[in-house]
Chain A
Amino acid sequence: MESLVFLVALVVLVLAVVAAGVKTVPQGFQWTVERFGRYRTTLMPGLNLIVPFIDRIGHRINVQETVLEIPSQSVITKDNASVTVDGIVFYQVLQAARAAYEVQNLQGAVENMALTNIRTAIGALDLDETLSKRDEINDRLLQVLDAATQPWGVKITRVELKDISPPANVVASMAMQLTAERERRAAILTAEGIKQAAILKAEGDKQSQILAAEGRLAAANRDAEARERLATAEAEATRVVSKAVEDGNVQALNYFVAQKYVDALNQIGQSPNSKLLLMPMEMSSIVSAVSGIAELTRNAKLGETK
């Protein structure tokens, strides 16, 4: 009977020993092993054996990247504006043993460190900078938190400020400022449009006047050239006539003059509205012209006779 009790106890002991010695660590976790209360090793994911009665599991550390919400808090900026800020921190345990034994309540420690550093970072900036330089704040927080958590075997992979909310009156003022700024830009754009239009119109007028003046200049030049050509032609004609007179008879001139007189009288006489007939003042000139013509005729006959 005693032997039976012993064997039953042995079976139970074997079961307990195996259960205590075989440890299956799930993926994403690392377990620390303590031997007589002192850290000995870290169990990796998978099947592991530890020495029953001597070793025991210390901490079950999650080594997956963890998202930690930083609760909303009120922060005073450098220019004394009170803003409400919350954020988010991504971290991952790289050294399970350090995370287990170097810090108590790792998550709480990271959260509090993030809270205080957010205060520090935003307290050094004006409200406008706080709202516009979020990337720089995130970067600075990342560097500070990463360096601070290094002894804990923790890598801070990302820090993001989720929301930065100024007080309602500041938001209203910012909206008014935005509206005023937009209106200012609209007014400036309108004025610039008008200015550009006036300049373009003036330039158009200027171009038009310049072109007109150039046209007049070209026309005057052509007129002058025409007059020069005409004068030259008349001079040439006069020279030719003078030559002809010099070579011939001076009475030829009288022929031309008389012909002009007669043509002029003819034109005056044909005008339907003319009630007045102008005659040369010296009628004797016409007579002399006619006598000149007679002289010409006579000379011509003499020439034929010769």
Chain B
Amino acid sequence: MTGAISPWVWAVAAVVIAFLELPVPGNYLIWFACAAALTALVGFAIDWTLNAQLAFFSAACLISCVAGYFVYRRLALRGPDTDVVNRRDLELVGQSGLASEAFVNGHGRIRLNDTLWLAEGDEDFAAGTALTITAVHGTSLVVRRK
């Protein structure tokens, strides 16, 4: 077929793009490589025009990237203990500490891990009361009596 790109060119392109995935963080070049590889495979099987190749490659790129998104998502959800890293709000829930001062109108401070946190509760606590963190609102902890 005149003007058509050889399947080998698509294959080489797939390999080159796959290599580019290594130094370039993005997690999507590999799906372009998959699309190129798929185009090469189809090119070996059938004789088609350049236009058809380009159209197929474009569609394959979109489909493989969407498929890749779902694959990554599933892997990310399966990852252990990654949720609480850099997420103090998640990490602190369930921990206990002492009220460092008397709460006024439900607001005060609680000492946790050698630092003080602003806290709010549904009642006023005396200084030194043991409290448990039930949730985190922004930079303020929601606490209740332990």
Q: How far does the alpha carbon of A49 sit from the alpha carbon of B118 in the complex, in Å?
A: 35
Chain A CB count within 10 A is highest, among B27, B73, B116, for B116
Q: Mark A145-179, 1 if CB is under 8 A from B, else 0.
A: 01101100111011000000000000000000000
- Assess whether B28 is interfacial by the CB under 8 Å rule: yes
Selected interface stretch from A5-13, A187-195, A216-224, A245-253: A5-13
> B28 contacts A45, CB within 8 Å?
no
Interchain CB contact (< 8 A) of B54 among A11, A45, A49, A98: A11
- Residues of A close to B61: CB separation below 8 A: 11, 14-15, 18
Q: Which B residues from 43 to 102 make CB contacts under 8 A with A?
A: 50-51, 54-55, 57-58, 61-62, 65, 69, 72-73, 76, 82, 85-89
- Assess whether B109 is interfacial by the CB under 8 Å rule: yes
> B118 contacts A150, CB within 8 Å?
yes
> B86 contacts A27, CB within 8 Å?
yes
> A150 contacts B140, CB within 8 Å?
yes
Q: How far does the alpha carbon of A217 sit from the alpha carbon of B139 in the complex, in Å?
A: 88
- Assess whether B23 is interfacial by the CB under 8 Å rule: no
Interchain CB contact (< 8 A) of A94 among B32, B57, B73, B89: B89
Q: How far does the alpha carbon of A27 sit from the alpha carbon of B83 in the complex, in Å?
A: 10
Q: How far does the alpha carbon of A10 sit from the alpha carbon of B114 in the complex, in Å?
A: 58
- Residues of B close to A11: CB separation below 8 A: 54, 57-58, 61
- Residues of A close to B54: CB separation below 8 A: 4, 7-8, 10-11
Q: Mark B111-146, 1 if CB is under 8 A from A, else 0.
A: 000111110000000000000000010111000000
Q: Mark A200-239, 1 if CB is under 8 A from B, else 0.
A: 0000000000000000000000000000000000000000
Q: How far does the alpha carbon of A269 sit from the alpha carbon of B117 in the complex, in Å?
A: 117
- Assess whether B10 is interfacial by the CB under 8 Å rule: no
> B86 contacts A10, CB within 8 Å?
no
> A63 contacts B86, CB within 8 Å?
yes
Q: How far does the alpha carbon of A199 sit from the alpha carbon of B32 in the complex, in Å?
A: 99
> A4 contacts B138, CB within 8 Å?
no
Interchain CB contact (< 8 A) of A142 among B86, B87, B116: B116
Residue on B nearest A142 in the bound complex, by CB: B116
Minimum Cβ distance to chain A for residue B39 (Å) = 11
Residue on B nearest A90 in the bound complex, by CB: B115
- Residues of B close to A155: CB separation below 8 A: 88, 117, 139
> B138 contacts A94, CB within 8 Å?
yes
> A46 contacts B118, CB within 8 Å?
no
Q: How far does the alpha carbon of A155 sit from the alpha carbon of B86 in the complex, in Å?
A: 12
- Residues of B close to A27: CB separation below 8 A: 82, 85-86
Residue on A nearest B138 in the bound complex, by CB: A95
> B118 contacts A22, CB within 8 Å?
no
Interchain CB contact (< 8 A) of B118 among A4, A64, A146: A146
Chain B CB count within 10 A is highest, among A14, A21, A63, for A14
- Residues of B close to A22: CB separation below 8 A: 26-28, 65, 69
Minimum Cβ distance to chain A for residue B90 (Å) = 11
Other than the given A11-B61, A150-B139, 5 more pairs (CB < 8 A) read A7-B51, A18-B65, A94-B88, A94-B89, A146-B118
Binding site for A on B (CB under 8 A): 3, 25-28, 31-32, 50-51, 54-55, 57-58, 61-62, 65, 69, 72-73, 76, 82, 85-89, 109, 114-118, 136, 138-140
Question: Could you give 20 example pairs across A and B, Cβ below 8 Å?
Answer: A3-B51, A4-B3, A10-B54, A11-B54, A14-B61, A18-B62, A22-B28, A22-B69, A24-B25, A27-B85, A45-B82, A64-B86, A92-B88, A94-B139, A98-B138, A143-B116, A146-B116, A146-B139, A153-B139, A154-B139
3 closest A-B pairs by beta carbon, nearest first, are: A7-B54, A47-B72, A22-B28
